[in-house]
Amino acid sequence: MENSREVEKIEYEIRKLERGIKVAHRNKSNVKDEGIDYDSIIKQYTKDIKELKDRLEELTEKRCFSSGRWKILTRGRRQPNIPKWPI
The pLDDT value given to residue 54: 96
Higher pLDDT, 65 or 13: 13
The pLDDT value given to residue 75: 86
* pTM of the complete model beyond 0.75: yes
Domain ranges of the chain: 2-74
Buried b (16+ CB within 10 A) or exposed e, 40-77: ebbeebeeebeebbebbeeebeeeeeeeeeeeeeeebe
Q: Which of the four pLDDT bands, split at 50, 70 and 90, describes residue 87?
A: confident
The pLDDT value given to residue 28: 72
